[in-house]
Amino acid sequence: MSEKKNLLLKLFLSTLYLSAFTFGGGYVIVTLMRKKFVSEYHWIDENEMLDLVAIAQSAPGAIAVNGAIVVGYKLAGIIGIIVSVTATILPPFIIISIISVFYSFFRENIFVALMLEGMQSGVGAVIASVVFEMAAGVLKERKITLVIIMLISFIVTYFFNINVIYVILVCIGIGLIQTFMRKKVDEK
């Protein structure tokens, strides 16, 4: 019993630490989780961790949260999930709560307002550069269907304001049909 308590405590503290100090999004945090739980604690073996990361990346939702769920589940079942997810969302929850209290207060300040205005251009540039990189990754696959999906999705979401949920559902549908047909071909 006390051994399990010890494991849960260690799980809580390590995910809390990773979540509080990892800048740069889900992919970074998952890499750090691997380092911690595979190389440092030897709780999970390397191959299994690769698959767990794949699960975290394929399921919907934030990758950091999904990573915490798979690791927590693997180590201690449902209670493990509760512990690791709580530890993961606590730091951003506290930080953003504090910021949102001060936000409306500071937004009136001319200096802060100018800073944020300039940063709008900056964040636009960050998103644009991410999009270029991701789009290059899609083009590299050299599949015309993927390019067409990309163009149509952009047109319908930007110009026609179609709810993005429908775009996602249609793409999952196309993916299911393709996978199903490929499996049938493989069977023959």
Partner 1 sequence: MIYIQLFISFLQIGLFSFGGGYAAMPLIQNQVVNLHHWLSLSEFTDLITISQMTPGPIAINSATFVGEKIAGVPGAIVATLGCIMPSIIIVTIIAYFYMKYRDLDSLQSVLKTLRPAVVAMIASAGVSILVTAFFGESGLIVMKNLKIQMVVIFVICMVLLMKFKMSPVFVMILAGILNVMQYFLLSSLSLGTL
- State yes or no: residue 172 binds partner 1 (CB under 8 A): yes
Residues 36-75 that bind partner 1 (CB under 8 A): 51-52, 54-66, 69-70, 73-74
Give dist(CA 176, CA 114) in Å, integer.
48
CB of 164 to partner 1, least distance (A): 5
CB of 41 to partner 1, least distance (A): 19
- State yes or no: residue 76 binds partner 1 (CB under 8 A): no
Nearer to partner 1, 1 or 137 (CB): 137
Give dist(CA 74, CA 48) in Å, integer.
10
Exactly one of 117, 144, 185, 188 binds partner 1 (CB under 8 A); that residue is 117
Contact 68, 17 (CB under 8 A): no
All residues at 6 or more sequence positions from 22 whose CB lies less than 8 Å from its CB, including other chains = 28, 29, 32, 64
- State yes or no: residue 21 binds partner 1 (CB under 8 A): yes
Exactly one of 16, 41, 79, 157 binds partner 1 (CB under 8 A); that residue is 157
- State yes or no: residue 116 binds partner 1 (CB under 8 A): yes
CB of 118 to partner 1, least distance (A): 3
DSSP string, 73-97: HHHHHHHHHHHHHHHHHHHHHHHHH
- State yes or no: residue 115 binds partner 1 (CB under 8 A): yes
**Tokens 């999930």 identify what position?**
81
Exactly one of 92, 140, 144, 185 binds partner 1 (CB under 8 A); that residue is 92
Residue 70 neighbours by CB distance under 10 Å? 24
Residue 28 neighbours by CB distance under 10 Å? 14
CA atoms within 13 Å, Cβ hemisphere of 162: 15
Dihedral-angle region of residue 40 (phi above 0 means left; psi in -120 to 50 means alpha; beta otherwise): alpha
CB of 40 to partner 1, least distance (A): 20
| Contact range with partner 1 by CB under 8 A, out of 4-12, 21-29, 38-46 | 21-29
CB of 35 to partner 1, least distance (A): 17
Nearer to partner 1, 6 or 122 (CB): 122
